[in-house]
Amino acid sequence: MGARSHRILFLTAITPLAHALEAYISETTCPWGSLSSAFQQYVCPSVDVVKSLHYVGDDGESHQRDDAGDPKGNVWKTFPDCFGEYCVYTNNDFFGKGISLITTAQNHVRVAQIQVAQTASRLDDEKARIAKIPGKGKGLVATKAIRRGERIMAARPALLVHRNIFSELQFEDVYYLMDMAVENLPRPRRTSYLAQAGTMGGHKITDILFTNSFQMGLGDDDDGFHYGNFPEVSLLNHDCRPNLAFFVDKNLTHHTHAVRDIRLGEELTISYLDPLQVRSVRQERTQNSLGFSCGCSHCSLSKKESDASDGRLLTISRLDGELSDFNSKSSSPAMVEEYLALYKEERLESKIANAYTLAALNYNLFGRADIAQQYARLSIEAGLLESGPDAVGVQQMKILADYPESHWSWNLKPHRP
């Protein structure tokens, strides 16, 4: 990621949440001091071995382990200085490169039960290289023409931090845990973490986390929310009209895929915010919450062009509301086609799965199974890039594509030309 960019994203809904941490970011250098006596400290076990019965391969599927009784590669070290229920857990071999957690014992077990292929965290060197990007610092550029749907990267976290430590612990205690977690990573992993840029100032290791992290859930309960740092992914800069989409799967793997054809030498980008927002909202968000002023091509349009874009985005929002109301009497095939045409004119390739989903549902409501199936398949295709194969929307569209006339939406609003 470039030195001026900042992101914290939510795994489940992929909704940016960087502003949620602003209250906890220091604007001046503040190295951690002595340990706070305000919290009870306790000693964690020196080594915790969890034997997983399954591992997750590069195909994303769960496979039976033949060596489930062998703890090699899944040995976790814990450290004596904990605060409340939060401890540091480190595994030098996990994910093939090593990982540190700052979390509770319950969440440590959740992570330790994931057994993954050792080669899964990688950047495809045949498709991208690190380059100096004007105004952004380092970034990734394509080393060859890339077709839509091609995978660029599959990365796993170096650091996973429970989000509640920033509200429940004193800062010097947070910094102590952060220092311990990074210091105990294997040297190459530690070096890659520390090589990332920070934008907000203050404690360096914490600043890097705030600048280059994604919020992710380890379970269905509130206790599962963590911030995950993926050093390889930090090289992807922001664009309001990116050429990549990303998702983080249930095995903590961060996937990026091309959402359109990419030219040789073109920078590879993702969006740190909701691209459906109008320019003024995007600019305010990047400036106030993310620490930089977005200068992407879409934010650099002339006032006339930008106003026209904003008008299209506002129309998309209005049509989205109409088409999402399945009791609405004003929806029509013409409205659906206008809605999709605006998405394409706005170059919203990285966030189009939901639009195709609404199109499929509405055409099924109109009793047009053939067109509903067409858009359901397009939704699946886009959803696999944006959300992954396990996403609820992808699964629902597979059902509609296969059995439109058995779907709950079939012919509820038959449309007559």
Q: At 79, give phi and psi (nearest 5°).
A: -125, 155
Are 128 and 263 found together in one domain? Answer: yes
Higher pLDDT, 61 or 376: 376
Instruction: Report how far apart, in Å, the C-alpha atoms of 169 and of each of 26, 192, 303 are.
Output: 15, 27, 46
- Kindly state whether residue 1 falls inside one of the protein's structural domains: no
Handedness of CA 212, 213, 214, 215 (dihedral sign): negative
Reference 292, options 72, 178, 133, 87; nearest CA is 133
State how far the Cα of 86 lies from the Cα of 165, in Å rounded to an integer: 8
State how far the Cα of 239 lies from the Cα of 18, in Å rounded to an integer: 16
Q: Where are the alpha helices (DSSP H) in 162-290?
A: 165-168, 171-183, 187-194, 204-211, 279-288
Reference 204, options 189, 190, 194; nearest CA is 194
Q: How confident is the model at residue 48 (pLDDT cuts 50, 70, 90)?
A: very low
Task: Say if residue 179's pLDDT is above 50.
Answer: yes
Higher pLDDT, 369 or 112: 369
Task: Say if residue 30's pLDDT is above 60.
Answer: no
Task: Say if residue 53's pLDDT is above 50.
Answer: no
Are 186 and 230 found together in one domain? Answer: yes
Domain ranges, residue 252? 7-270
- Kindly state whether residue 278 falls inside one of the protein's structural domains: no
Are 263 and 311 found together in one domain? Answer: no
Domain end residue (candidates: 249, 270, 291): 270
Domain end residue (candidates: 270, 293, 321): 270
Q: How many CA atoms lie within 13 A of 413 on its CB side?
A: 17
- Kindly state whether residue 417 falls inside one of the protein's structural domains: no
Q: Which residues contact 271 (CB under 8 A, 6 or more apart)?
A: 238, 239, 240, 241, 242, 350, 351
Residues recorded for the chain: 417
55 beta partners: 63
Residue 82: CATH number of its domain: 2.170.270.10
- Kindly state whether residue 388 falls inside one of the protein's structural domains: yes
Task: Say if residue 1's pLDDT is above 60.
Answer: no
Task: Say if residue 70's pLDDT is above 90.
Answer: no
State how far the Cα of 247 lies from the Cα of 82, in Å rounded to an integer: 32
pLDDT tens digits, residue range 245-272? 999 998 899 999 999 999 999 999 999 8
Are 258 and 331 found together in one domain? Answer: no
**Residue showing tokens 């206790």:** 223
- Kindly state whether residue 297 falls inside one of the protein's structural domains: no
Are 219 and 80 found together in one domain? Answer: yes
Q: Where are the alpha helices (DSSP H) in 20-170?
A: 105-112, 165-168
Would you state the torsion angle of the CA atoms of residues 400, 403, 407, 410, taken in this order, to the nearest 10 degrees?
100
Higher pLDDT, 90 or 415: 90
**Among the ranges given (26-40, 92-106, 345-359, 386-400), the one the predictor scored with the smallest mean pLDDT:** 26-40
Token pair for 303: 């006032």
Mean pLDDT rounded to a whole number for the chain: 82
Reduce the DSSP state of residue 42 to 3 states and report it. coil
Are 100 and 181 found together in one domain? Answer: yes
pTM over 0.75: yes
Identify the pLDDT of residue 73.
55
State how far the Cα of 181 lies from the Cα of 177, in Å rounded to an integer: 6
Q: How confident is the model at residue 293 (pLDDT cuts 50, 70, 90)?
A: confident
Helix (H) or strand (E) holding 154: strand 151-155
Q: How confident is the model at residue 63 (pLDDT cuts 50, 70, 90)?
A: very low
Number of structural domains the chain divides into: 2
Are 265 and 312 found together in one domain? Answer: no
Q: Checking DSSP bridges between strand 267-270 and strand 137-142, what pairing results, if any?
A: antiparallel
Q: How confident is the model at residue 51 (pLDDT cuts 50, 70, 90)?
A: very low
Are 96 and 192 found together in one domain? Answer: yes
State how far the Cα of 250 lies from the Cα of 262, in Å rounded to an integer: 28
State how far the Cα of 162 lies from the Cα of 175, in Å rounded to an integer: 13
Q: At 286, give phi and psi (nearest 5°).
A: -65, -35
Identify the pLDDT of residue 198.
82
* End-to-end CA, the chain: 51
Domain end residue (candidates: 270, 290, 315): 270
Are 254 and 333 found together in one domain? Answer: no
Task: Say if residue 285's pLDDT is above 90.
Answer: no
Task: Say if residue 90's pLDDT is above 90.
Answer: yes
Residues 121-148: b if buried by 16+ CB within 10 A, e if exposed: bebeeebbeeeebeebebbbbbeeebee
Are 260 and 376 found together in one domain? Answer: no
Kindly state the average pLDDT of the residues 151-169. Answer: 95
Q: Which residues contact 350 (CB under 8 A, 6 or more apart)?
A: 241, 242, 243, 244, 245, 259, 270, 271, 275, 386
Are 176 and 261 found together in one domain? Answer: yes
**Residue showing tokens 């294997």:** 186
Identify the pLDDT of residue 362.
97
Identify the pLDDT of residue 100.
96
- Kindly state whether residue 291 falls inside one of the protein's structural domains: no
Identify the pLDDT of residue 352.
97
- Kindly state whether residue 281 falls inside one of the protein's structural domains: no
- Kindly state whether residue 277 falls inside one of the protein's structural domains: no
pLDDT tens digits, residue range 323-365? 999 999 899 999 999 999 999 999 999 999 999 999 999 999 9
Are 266 and 307 found together in one domain? Answer: no
Instruction: Report how far apart, in Å, the C-alpha atoms of 366 and of each of 332, 353, 371, 372 are.
Output: 8, 20, 10, 9
pLDDT tens digits, residue range 109-141? 999 888 665 554 566 668 999 999 988 888 999
